Each structure stands twice: as C-alpha cells, then as structure tokens.
Amino acid sequence: MFMLETINSTAKPVSRAAPPVLVNLSRRGFLSTASAGSVVLGLSLAGCAREEEAAPEPEKSAAEEIDTDELGQEADIMGGDATPSLFLAIAPNGRITMTCHRSEMGQQVWTSIAQVIVDELDGDLDNVDIEQAIGHPRYGDQNTDGSTSIRNQFYRYRLVGGGMRTMLVGAAAAEWDVDPATCRAELGEVIHDESGRRLGYGDLAEAAAEQPVPAIEDIKLKERSEWRYIGTEAPSRTTPKVIRGEGTFGIDVNLPDMVYAVIAHPPQLFSKPSRVDDTGALQTPGVLRTVRLPTLEPPAMFKPLGGVAVIARDTWSAIQGRFALDIDWEDGENADYNSDAFGEALQETARAPGKEQSNKGDVAAALENAAQRITAEYYAPHLSQSPMEPPSATARWTGDKVECWACTQHPQAARSTVAAVCGVPEDDVTINVTWLGGGFGRKSKPDFIVEAALLAREIGQPVKVTWTREDDIQHGYFHSVSAQYFEGGLDADGKCMAMLHRTVFPTISATFEHGVTTPSAGELHLGASDNPFDVPNMRLETGESSAHLRIGWLRAVCNVFHAFGVQSFADELAHAAGRDPRDYLLELIGAPRMFDPTENGAEYPNYGRSLEEYPIDTGRLADTLRTAAEMANWGRALPEGHGLGIAAHRSFLTYVATVVEVAVDADGGLTIPGVWAAMDAGTVVNTRHTAAQIEGGVLYGLSNALYGAITAENGAVVQSNFPTWRLMRMNEAPRVMETRIIESDAPPGGVGEPPTPPAAPALANAIFAATGKRFRRLPIIGANSDRLDLSDAQDA
C-alpha cells in the first residue's frame, strides 16, 4: 500500500464531495422496475453515459449461477463465460441491448462483436443498443490487446447469440405447444411456419427468462452460408456518435466537485525528488495544493512513476503550476543511460555468438562452403505509441471503495493494480471503461489510473489526472530498441543454403522482473523463431541486453523490428543472387507446407493458439505475396527515381504482404506514389473496418519507419512533442492506397496489428530499388529532416 505526502501544509483547502447514493437492484427488482415482462440477459452496468452514478453489481439467483456454468465450461478456449445474461438484454418492445466487454478505441470492436452475437441471435442489427462493460473477471478476457477481440472469442460470441436464440425459440415453442425443432428465428421474431404463427423477441422476453440456459451441444450454430452480418460491411456503431459528440472519452469525464491533477514525473526511471519547492506552484492562480507521489521501486510493473502532483481547479492551471515547481531530482540507477552509446553496444552484442534459440542443419558449415556469403546489420530505436488522446483517468472514493473512469485497454489489470497499490480488495474497485482516442498498447498499462486513485484518496474528492503530450512521449512504456545481425550463404545458383539470425533487445519482461536481460519465447515468436523460410540450414541466436526505460508493447510488438530485419535481408539476398525480389522471396518461402518451429527446437506459443487450429501455412503467406504483387502490377516499367519494394509477414495468426512504391529526387526528396496491401486474416467479420485497419496499420508502420525514434540522454527521454517526435503528415501519405482481403474459411486471425510489420521493410526495399542505397537503420529520415540522407545509407 502506498502512502502520499502533502508537500505544503498551507495549501488551499479543498471541499469534499458528498458521497453518492447507491441503489442496489436485484435481477428481479430490475426487471419489475425497468419494464414488466422484459428479459434482462445482461447486467445493469454504469458505463460512460452517466458518470455520476455508481455501478452496483446485480444479484443473481441460484438458478442463474447454475446456468452460468453451462456455457462457462470451455472458458479457456473461448475467452470466458458464454452465458447470454452477460451480454444481452431484450426489452418488451423488442429492443436489444448488448454489453461490450472489450475497449472501443476506433478499431470498431463494438460493431464487430455485435455483428457476431446478433447474427447468431437472429436479431436485427439496426435494433441494437450497445453499452460498455466495467472491468470485471465475470467477463473473461477483457484485455483489448494483441488483436484478440475476435480471433480469441469468435466462437464464444456465437454461443452467446445462439444460446439466446435457443432460449427464445424454446419459449415460443412452449407457448404454442409445438416441437422447438419446427420453429425458426428470423430478424427478431420466432416463426412457426406450419401454422403461420410468429412472436417478436420482446413478446417472448418474460417467458425466455424462465428457460434454462442451453448446454453447448444443444446450441445449433448457423452454417457459414446462413450468416447475415458476419463478413459484411456493417456500418460503425460508434463513428456517428463521435461525430455528434455523444461518446465519452477518458479526457471527457466530469464529476461533481472534481479537481484536476498534472504530475511532474521523474526524468529518469527510478529517480526521485531530492528537494521540492512548491511556493511558485501554490501562487499560480487556480492551483489548490501539491502532493508528492510514492517513489517507484523496481520492478516498474504497472505502478506509478512517482513525482509531484499539482492539484488545481482546471487542467490548464495545473499545467501552469507544474511549470512553477522547483524540483531537484536525485539520480537513479539509469542516470548514465545514453541511447546512442547503448545502440552501439547493442550492435556489438549482435555481432558476437549468442544463445541458440532454434537450429536446423549446420549453419556454420553451410556458410563456410557457400559460393557467396552476405552479412547485414539492422537497427531500430525505441518508439512511443503516442495515441491521439494521451492517458487520462478520474477517480472517486466513497468510504473505502474507489470508482475510476479511464481510457483503458485492460480494465481488469487496472482493477487489480489499483487494489494492490491502494491496499483494498479488488471487489472494492470499480473500473468504468470510456472510449479511447487510440491505444496501440500504451493504455493497457494502468499506471495513470492508479495515480488518479491515490490522489483522489489523498485529496478526499474526485480527481482527474491528465497526461500531456509531453508526459506521454517522455514517460510511457516504450517499444524496445533492437539490433539484429544476419549472415546468409548462397550456392553457385544464388539459392540460399544458410541463414544466421541474431536478435538483441531489452525485454518487456524487465518491466515485470527487474534485471532480466534475455528475451522471452513470447517475444521471439513475434517474427524471429517463426521465420518460415525453406532454407536447409537456419539458426536463431539471442544476446543479453538490459532495460533502462519502461519497456512495453506497441502495435505488433517485436514483429516490427523482426520483420524489418528478415524481409530487408531477403531483399538483400535477392540482389546478391541477381534475382527479382518478389520471385526470390517466394523461393525463400518455398512450397506450400505447414511449418512447425518446435521441430527446430524453438519454444513457440503461436499467439496462444494451437498449431493444429492455426498452423503456419506457407501457402497462405505466398498467396498474399502474389496478390499484393499483382495489385501493384509488379514488374511494370517505372519512371526514373521510382522503385517498388515488397515484404510479407505472418503475425497474430494473419498473413499480410505489402508493396510500396517510392519516388526519390536528386536531393533525397521522398514521396510515396502508392501502397498495395493484401491480407489473409481467415474469417473476417467486417470487411469495411478490416480494410480501414489495413490502411491505418500500414500508415503507422510507414510513419515510424520514416521518422520514429525515442532517444535518451542521461537517462531522460529527449523527445517531448510532435516537433521532435514526428509523425507522417497528410501530404506525405501514399497517393494511392489499395487493400485486398483474401477470402478464407480459416478461423479468424488478428487484423489490427498484422498490417504494420511489413510496411518498414517494403519501404526500405523500395528505396533501395529506386536509389541503390540500402537503409538498415531506422528511422530512415528522422524528425529533424524532410528528405533522405543518401550519404548515410549503404551502397549495394
């Protein structure tokens, strides 16, 4: 349990908020109060619409507890309990309310989950309202990360809808005294064709509530050919609300008697204030007081960084008060961290033999006997997720219980972390999930939510913590810096006979276990241990590296730098062999087969799914490559200064290939005339939003490849806002961007992250094709320039 310190006892007084009135409604009580005869197949939850009301947990009858077990028996493979009462409510007028347990951050998860559930429910998607769930274990996996919302829970959602449909059909059959098998559901009605009778879902609601929740084997799910909404371009359920200003984001939350906090965080990880003079801050108009947060001790985990909070009547005053703080910071253990020197040391480590992670054949002998031997080194810096909406959270205590509102991707982690840091039971913590203005992995970490909870308890009234852009860029959880070393051996015909790959980077594990220096299998299976190339001799090695910033995950995680290395080196091998890059990459991928990394000694998690259900299918990877090349009209004559680059990569159980066309003038000016991307994500729920994810993922990858770099001097991050942490601008975006979703009956893969990894190598390969210059270090341009420095690249 952390204790806080008020720095100046003469701070201005702060009034306390009156405790909110909580109304605890049982399930039956809610049914009778809301509308007689309705069936509430969901929970009464406080979401974002009315922040002033708490979210009491509804009571359950013994029968409901028993029913819950029926569809909860396969939670491990479905992502959680599939009992309809967790997600669905039907009013007497037939209106359906669906509770979404995953976080909406622009990826349209509200829409896609509704498509699956309502399809199996046989409801009318236009007759559905959606509410946001609080963070609670009853919902199973709520971590909206890793492109898992559909791929890990598709079957679960189908059971939810199909289970409710089965109950409604059963209720209608009982009403008519007919066999349920003679009834069918369609668009919110149950129909008995033989007699022509039909009843709406609203008419059946009360009777359906008395039906037992069916066992899994008693639910008849639809055939693929019967799907009405799955696989269509259903319109967004959130975008119109955003346009009308109706949605609530974390930064929008406003509670009665709320005050505002901005925090001066330590410049280095694990440093702390040695002297604080808050006189100037307290003299700033609107500032109420200052509070010193607990010093962060290793491991960092999801705990607050520490520092000094400025409490004010509004965010602007808090920011101005922070500027007026006079703080001396005591150096911590990372005071000597300088990213330039660290990067050089990282590359030295990659050049030396490392720990074997997988091996096939005899790489050393094959390299020794090669007709041609190629080496290459690649470097990628730290990156920041930098979502459009920086982290923001609001907290309010009522007695010993705390309620938080936050733009969080991982509400259950927020719940458990707030409980642990504040020293209260998890049942006394409520996490209300707002919409997120982007996440990209940053908002999976609830440190900013814990800050709000600690400050609200200290102040005695609701507190909103706002991170500024500078806070987000300088004090986040950073994508890891990496160095990679490759050696390839070609025979006399240019065929690759051997490939050595070494990868070195500070591991995410160090955030949770201080001092860990070796990468985990979970990181290596992101583009390294799962390299599917059909090369007879292959070896993967790793080196050790320490972490000096909080290392976290960013869109596609280690796939970003591993794909950059592997796909860039494939292009280099093609050039050395005098071959077309597309054709050579297809040769490296080889004939269609199912590749199993464990056969080469790798520990391979496969994104949490079995290789039997989700094999590494080189045929699908090759098909995406051919499709993207066809889309780009690969092999066409190009104007002078233009070049095409190609890359293909499997991540998050999905296959993506990307072709980038660049144009480079004599002064290094770079434009991107076109990008063509093909994706095989198995079964796709919403084709419109998947295409948008492809576009957004490619742009994210291109932006970071061109400009993204987080650097550190004396342990402190140098970049602070968009002038120094540069993003791709609208006028720099590709002039043409075409996407294609390859139809597939395979189980769903991820769609949010897979488009990002191939973007950087396709871009670098295109620049090489246009200029003959090879960029092996990212970013290719950087924040301080607007053109390529061709002298900084390497010749062919």
**Which residue carries 């909103």 as its tokens?**
464
Instruction: Label each residue of 716-748 as H, E or C.
Output: EECCCCCCCCCCCCHHHCCCEEEEEECCCCCCC
Per the structure, how many domains does the chain have?
Answer: 3
Residues 317 and 367 in one domain: no
Phi/psi of residue 143, nearest 5 degrees: -70, 100
pLDDT at residue 369, rounded to an integer: 98
Instruction: Give yes or no for residue 72 having a pLDDT over 70.
Output: no
Residue 42 or 399, more confident: 399
Residues 578 and 448 in one domain: no
The three-state secondary structure class of 284 is coil
Sorting pLDDT into bands at 50, 70 and 90, what band is 75?
very low
Instruction: Give yes or no for residue 59 having a pLDDT over 50.
Output: no
pTM above 0.85, yes or no: yes
Mean pLDDT within 317-344: 98
Contact present, 89 and 162 (Cβ < 8 Å): no
**Percentage of the chain modeled with pLDDT above 70:** 90
- Over residues 267-313, the pLDDT tens digits come to 999 999 999 999 999 999 999 999 999 999 999 999 999 999 999 99
- Over residues 579-618, the pLDDT tens digits come to 999 999 999 999 999 999 999 999 999 999 999 999 999 9
Sorting pLDDT into bands at 50, 70 and 90, what band is 85?
confident
Residues 345 and 326 in one domain: no
CA distance 116 to 110: 10
Structure-token pair, residue 691: 């295409």
Sheet holding 642-651, edge to edge: 642-651, 654-664, 670-680, 736-741
Instruction: Give yes or no for residue 327 having a pLDDT over 50.
Output: yes
Q: Which of 242, 273, 297 is the last residue of a domain?
A: 242
pLDDT at residue 794, rounded to an integer: 81
Sorting pLDDT into bands at 50, 70 and 90, what band is 627?
very high
**Which residue carries 């309502």 as its tokens?**
118
Which range marks the domain in which residue 85 is found? 3-242
Sorting pLDDT into bands at 50, 70 and 90, what band is 62?
very low
Q: Count CB-CB contacts under 10 A for residue 703.
A: 20
CA distance 449 to 591: 50
CA distance 524 to 519: 7
Mean pLDDT within 534-555: 98
Domain-embedded: residue 471: no
Domain-embedded: residue 632: yes
pLDDT at residue 35, rounded to an integer: 35
Instruction: Give yes or no for residue 628 having a pLDDT over 70.
Output: yes
CA distance 458 to 465: 13
Sorting pLDDT into bands at 50, 70 and 90, what band is 71?
low
For residue 250, what are the contacts with CB-CB under 8 A and spacing of at least 6? 389, 391, 392, 393, 394, 405, 406, 407, 408, 434, 435, 436, 437
Longest dimension (CA), the chain: 84
Q: Which of 466, 496, 520 is the last residue of a domain?
A: 466
Structure-token pair, residue 609: 């799914």
Residues 349 and 489 in one domain: yes
Domain-embedded: residue 472: no
pLDDT at residue 5, rounded to an integer: 56
Instruction: Give yes or no for residue 17 having a pLDDT over 50.
Output: no
Sorting pLDDT into bands at 50, 70 and 90, what band is 50?
very low
Nearest by Cα to 139 from 398, 431, 445, 448: 431
Domain-embedded: residue 157: yes
Domain-embedded: residue 418: yes
Pairing state of beta strands 287-293 and 5-6?
antiparallel
CA distance 5 to 289: 11
Least confident of 48-57, 142-151, 245-254, 588-597: 48-57
Residues 433 and 315 in one domain: yes
Instruction: Give yes or no for residue 109 having a pLDDT over 90.
Output: yes
Domain-embedded: residue 397: yes
In whole numbers, what is the pLDDT of the chain averaged over residues? 91
Sorting pLDDT into bands at 50, 70 and 90, what band is 7?
low
pLDDT at residue 1, rounded to an integer: 53
Structure-token pair, residue 25: 């409604």
**Residue 604 belongs to domain with CATH number:** 3.30.365.10
- Over residues 333-382, the pLDDT tens digits come to 999 999 999 999 999 999 999 999 999 999 999 999 999 999 999 999 99
Sorting pLDDT into bands at 50, 70 and 90, what band is 117?
very high
- Over residues 28-42, the pLDDT tens digits come to 232 222 333 344 433
Contact present, 652 and 753 (Cβ < 8 Å): yes
- Over residues 486-536, the pLDDT tens digits come to 999 999 999 999 999 999 999 999 999 999 999 999 999 999 999 999 999
Mean pLDDT within 59-64: 29
Structure-token pair, residue 222: 């639809």
Residues 673 and 574 in one domain: yes
Residues 493 and 602 in one domain: yes
Residues 413 and 523 in one domain: no
Residues 175 and 86 in one domain: yes
Q: CB-hemisphere CA count at 13 Å for 348?
A: 6
CA dist 337 → 237, 268, 686 (Å): 46, 9, 45
pLDDT at residue 792, rounded to an integer: 77
Q: Which of 242, 260, 291 is the last residue of a domain?
A: 242
Burial bucket for residue 18 (CB in 10 Å: 0-12, 13-18, 19+): exposed
Least confident of 77-86, 631-640, 747-756: 77-86
Structure-token pair, residue 682: 């198995």
- Over residues 409-458, the pLDDT tens digits come to 999 999 999 999 999 999 999 999 999 999 999 999 999 999 999 999 99
What does 25-53 look like in DSSP terms, one character per residue? --HHHHHHHH-TT-B--S-----SS-TTS
Nearest by Cα to 253 from 106, 450, 15, 431: 431
For residue 769, what are the contacts with CB-CB under 8 A and spacing of at least 6? 581, 643, 644, 645
Instruction: Give yes or no for residue 54 having a pLDDT over 80.
Output: no
Least confident of 66-75, 383-392, 617-626: 66-75
Residues 221 and 257 in one domain: no
Residues 718 and 755 in one domain: yes
Residues 226 and 109 in one domain: yes
Structure-token pair, residue 152: 């890990």
